[in-house]
A = this chain, B = another copy of it.
Amino acid sequence: MALVVQKYGGTSVADIERIENVARKVIKAREAKNDLVVVVSAMAGETDRLIRLAHSAAPDPIEREYDVLIASGEQVSVALLSIVLNRMGCKAKSYLAYQVKIITDGDFTRARILKIDRSLIQEDLRQGYVAVVAGFQGIDRKNNVTTLGRGGSDTSAVALAAALGADVCEIYTDVDGVYTADPNICDNARLLKKICYEEMLELASAGAKVLHPRSVELAKKYEVPVYVRSSFNDGAGTLVTKEDKDMEKGVVSGVTYDRDQAKITVIHVPDRPGVAARLFTPLSDENIPVDMIIQNASIDGFTDLTFTVSRKDIGAVRRLLEISAKEVGAQGLQFDEHIAKVSIVGVGMRSHAGVASKMFATLAKEGINILMISTSEIKISCAIEAKYTELAVRVLHDAFGLEQES
């Protein structure tokens, strides 16, 4: 008897008909003699409705209460799925975060899971129940409701799979799995059968929306095999797992992009120790993640510092930098919201030279100017003008032969 954790996203439980569809999948998995834990998100549109309510109550709603409000969405969907499962003759019980004891830190709206108590769920599984667990929510050590941030239900599912020692975690979504590129942009994008944690993490961090990066980190840490699958068909999907020899055949596994980027340049900054810290500390204090950073060579003791942030943070960044840039004696600030980031990812890069130069040459050939570059061991990202995004994805996909299985 295997223990399977399944996670269904908001579009999979958008209405009663779709919830019935999910229930049939759950029952099928039960009939295949599996113990089942099912994690669900809020019904599609529900979280947005609750967020709108919050913002009509206050422009900047107090975070503790914001979490209480939006966590109610998952409460509705676990109850409905459990009602439908019981109606269909399948014993099922819903669990809210406080019932399982999904303990997080106290960082409202973006809490991190610290600990999951597995005893209650294990006991109910032994008694033949399907455990239907509310995703996205937790409680902190003081019993306050917390939420894990957007995409947090993926993290809930993987964390539960890790805590329970599940054999597999299946993430059901509205796409068929992980593709070599966004199929909406790239006609010949190919569904990957398998991808390793490291690549998935880089893809997710570089903008691929299919899995939440935090969930991939957790899966990697606890070596949870994760299947990404469509909830609307019976396709095998993509297995996210440990790296193996097969995976190294191809140099690049996927191309991805992120349009949610804005570029800031701090001009003519004195190049002395402590300046970068003075500029970036206020951003990290307000939990604003900085992505790419480049610093020009210093001329006469002055340099330009350029970095990217998420577009939604640009207002806060402007407010904070206008103070700190003045303090460090910079000449001024430049903002550019018309940029995007294009990335290629693959563990094969480690053993292949010339990948970066091939990427730069491919973009240059189309007249696409590279504004910034950042690399990791298995990823190369380029910031480009936003209008070239689709073109860049397509030519890179072709250049690295991704339409062919390697």
Contact = CB atoms under 8 A, between A and B. Distances in A.
Interface of A: 16, 19, 50, 53-54, 56-59, 61-62, 64-66, 68-69, 71-72, 75-76, 78-80, 82-84, 86-87, 93-94, 96, 98-99, 143-145
Interface of A is mostly: helix
Contacts of A58: 83-84, 86-87
Contacts of A72: 72, 75-76, 79
Given A69-B76, A75-B69, A79-B65, A87 B50 contact: no
A86 B62 contact: yes
B16 A56 contact: yes
Nearest to A143: B99
Contacts of A62: 82-83, 86-87
A50 B69 contact: no
A68 B86 contact: no
B66 A79 contact: yes
B69 A57 contact: no
A140 to B, nearest CB: 11
A83 B61 contact: yes
A125 B2 CA distance: 49
B57 A80 contact: yes
Contacts of A53: 16, 76, 80
A93 B69 contact: no
